[in-house]
Amino acid sequence: MSDQIRITLPDGSVREYPNGVTSLEIALSISEGLARNVLAAKVNGTVQDATRPITTDAAVTLLTWNDTEGKATFWHSSAHLLAEALEELYPGIQFGIGPPIEKGFYYDVDLNGQHFSQEDFKKVEDKMLELARQKQEFIRQPISKAEAVAYFEKKGDPYKLDLLERLEDGTISFYTQGNFTDLCRGPHIPHTGFIKAVKLMNVAGAYWRGDEKNKMLTRVYAVTFPKQKELDDYLHLLEEAKKRDHRKLGKELELFAFSEKVGAGLPLWLPKGTMLRERLENFLRKAQVRAGYQQVVTPHIGSKQLYVTSGHWEKYGEDSFKPILTPEAGEEFLLKPMNCPHHCEIYKTKPRSYRDLPLRLAEFGTVYRYEQSGELHGLTRVRGFTQDDAHIFCRPDQVKEEFIKVIDLVLYVFKSLGFDDYSAQISLRDPENRQKYIGSDELWEKAESAIIEASAERGLRTVTELGEAAFYGPKLDFMVRDALGRKWQLGTIQVDYNLPERFELEYTGSDNQKYRPVMIHRAPFGSMERFIAILIENSGGNFPLWLSPDQIAVLPISEKYEDYSNEVFLTLQESDIRGYVDHRDEKIGRKIRDSELNKVPFMLILGEKEQAEGLVSVRRKGEGDIGSMTIAEFVAFFQNEIKPVAKAV
């Protein structure tokens, strides 16, 4: 064994260290400041404890709070700290699992009849901080299965014993900090002293292993930070998120509603919401016409055999609504879960030549999927939703060019709607579980290469995720960060060699031979429902002027000016300016306040002077009075305020 090993750092530099050096020691050799902030390290692609010895040449990335893996390690360690605090406060408690999640962590516990509620949060937080200040080290200990079983049998922890049943010798380790020992693979932060701010967020029920046949455990959600200010900022963002909740604003702005009689997860679009939705659809329709798409319409149901052919029945049949039986024996239909099989059948309506390709078919198609009632959430998780779906049928030599054009369309949509902070996720197959997918390795490799090359050519900032591909092909998912810093998946583009094979799609090549086209699936919005929910929350209901359901409110000071108000409103309608006249018998101050609450961009105040001189007194929401104008001047001013990209909508 060599006394020295070579460590390659992210900047490409190579340093030599003694065999057995830790990542923390490597950080210290670079700077004391860096060492104080290192939480874990990625060694040859695997995240591990910063205190774990490295015994071979390795590529090392030092992870801090600014890295996703660093945060995950911090929150994983915080889950162990939560468990230690709970064990001290609730003797006899038993533990399930305690993973990090996107924001914070949770631990599933069996309280064995002891009471725990939000009233107990403060004492648990105080105990966690007390333990954190002790700077307890996280100590890893590889252990045999027999020893691990003996430990948890003595402790009386059946959930850990259940977990151990599926583990094998040589893969098991314990982590200990202070008086608490847990079954865990790690990694963990060096010690608990990094944890400076703690907040328990919620408590809920969770069946062990997610199986309702098992015992209901108590799931304690929490979040921690290395600085109190970061926790304060996070809690402030949560308060802002509550104000922006699309379910709350959707009701206040009269955009959409739900009805128990109609059914859970089936939104009803009210007039103002319908207007907003139609403006978005028209915006994309015009962009698609310019890009060479042809609009189609397909039924809301399809024969079950259609989805058997496509593979959707095999993969998603259990998650769909049950088949619809007709009086005809053996005849079964499904509520449409996907638009793509229908579009394949449109392709087959006549012979296609290589000269006909690419063929771009677009549809705002409503689809239906049976989401569990507990997973429904406003517009972001529904049972009936409309996709801005399109399918491009092209020759293999056209795939990359078409893919790039779709990337450009997605970015155009984002820019027009103010989504400037985005990244792209290349979603590939899980190499360890290929039975999840249909199609040959050769076709998958072609599809994956096309996505990777097109993304690189467009200079997209990308991450690659294994196992996130659709069952029929890899995809490029666009992740958008909203005004509150939350990440959402919106647009998606997928390359598919498999459905053309399953539907036996063909075109005649220049050599008069038959070939299979390649299929590109794309949806810049994703689903109209989910996109609008995110748009509501990102804007706080303050939509771009061109999208606002009510762009102006005409506010007569009294009933004496109603005729003039109606005349002004009709003139504005002729210029495609939308809104209403507030004829209520209310004081003008109340009318202005209500218009502000309804997030109407412009208010036109009409009184004696305005009527006499043919003027409108203009107020902008949030700014106040911006002066008097003639109607023609206001129309010109208004049109100038609308972004050029939306003027044609």
Q: Residue 391 catalytic? A: yes
What is each CA distance from 465 to 66, 382, 452, 457, 462, in whole angstroms?
20, 26, 12, 19, 10
- From its phi and psi, is residue 186 left (phi > 0), alpha (psi between -120 and 50) or beta? left
Taking CA 204 as the corner, what is the angle to CA 202 and CA 209, rounded to the nearest 5 degrees? 130
In the annotation, is 521 catalytic? Answer: yes
**Residue 479 belongs to what H/E stretch?**
strand 475-481
Q: Would strands 332-335 and 4-8 be described as parallel, antiparallel, or unpaired?
A: unpaired
**DSSP string of 214-281, one letter each residue:** SPEEEEEEEEEESSHHHHHHHHHHHHHHHHH-HHHHHHHTT-EE--TTT-TT--EE-HHHHHHHHHHH
* 246 marked as binding residue: no
Catalytic residue among 312, 429, 475, 619: 475
- The burial of 138, by beta-carbon neighbours within 10 Å (0-12 exposed, 13-18 middle, 19 or more buried), is given as buried
DSSP-assigned states of every residue in 291-337? TT-EE----SEEEHHHHHHHTHHHHHGGGSPPPEE-SSTT-EEEE-S
Please state, in angstroms and rounded to a whole number, the distance separating the CA atoms of residues 576 and 153: 74
Q: Where are the alpha helices (DSSP H) in 31-175?
A: 32-37, 68-89, 121-132, 145-155, 158-164
CA distances to 144, 295, 390, 535 from 363, rounded to whole Å, are: 58, 6, 6, 21
DSSP 415-429: HHTT---EEEEEEE-
The first and second tokens of residue 307, run together, are 């989805």
Say whether 389 is catalytic.
yes
Using the Cα atoms of residue 286, residue 291, residue 292 and residue 293 in order, give the sign of their dihedral. negative
The whole-angstrom separation of Cα 218 and Cα 203 is 7
**Residue 60 near residue 16 (C-beta atoms within 8 A):** no
Phi, psi of 495 (to 5 degrees): -105, 130
Query: What distance in Å separates the CA atoms of residue 572 and residue 507, rounded to the nearest whole number?
Result: 52
Which residue among 182, 389, 496, 550 is the active-site one? 389
Q: Which member of 76, 272, 391, 516 is catalytic?
A: 391
Greatest Cα pair distance, the chain, in angstroms, is: 97
User: What's phi and psi for 425, nearest 5 deg?
Assistant: -110, 120
Mark 489-501 as b/e (b = at least 16 C-beta within 10 Å).
ebbbbbbbbbbbb
76 among annotated binding-site residues: no
Q: Residue 37: helix, strand or coil by DSSP?
A: helix
Q: Which of 76, 521, 599, 619 is catalytic?
A: 521
48, 157, 244, 340: the active-site residue = 340
* H/E element, 450: helix 441-457
User: Which two tokens mark 337?
Assistant: 């879960």
Q: Is 340 a catalytic residue?
A: yes
Residues in a beta bridge with 18:
4
Q: Tell me whether residue 236 is annotated as binding.
A: no
d(CA 646, CA 649): 5
Residue 216 CA: distances (Å) to CA of 207, 210, 213, 280? 4, 9, 9, 44
**Is 475 part of the annotated catalytic residue set?**
yes
The type of residue at 417 is L
Identified catalytic residue from 42, 369, 522, 619: 369
Q: Which residues are annotated as a binding site for Zn(2+)?
A: 340, 391, 521
Catalytic residues: 340, 369, 387, 389, 391, 475, 521
Q: Which residues are annotated as a binding site?
A: 340, 391, 521
